[in-house]
């Protein structure tokens, strides 16, 4: 949704969905584990930098 079309009620509903739906937390925890297993945020930053530098 384009930011300029976002309304307070819509944002409130979306935040409520994320906070109250356990699947969001479960997926966040799964991704956290995958990022750690792949070397963490530092490895991700290094990979991005190496791609940018060519």
Tokens encoding 23: 């699947």
Residue 54 clears pLDDT 80, i.e. is over it: no
- Radius of gyration over alpha carbons of the chain, in Å? 17
pTM of the model: 0.65
Show the DSSP H helices in the chain as ranges.
Answer: 8-20, 22-37, 40-53
Residue 52 clears pLDDT 80, i.e. is over it: yes
25-47 pLDDT, tens digit per residue, is 999 999 999 999 999 999 989 99
């Amino acid at each position: 949704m384009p930011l300029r079309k976002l309304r307070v009620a819509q944002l409130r509903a979306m935040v409520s969905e994320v906070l109250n739906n356990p699947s969001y937390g479960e997926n966040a925890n799964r991704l956290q584990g995958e990022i750690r297993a792949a070397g963490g945020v530092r490895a991700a930053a290094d990979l991005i930098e190496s791609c940018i530098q060519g």
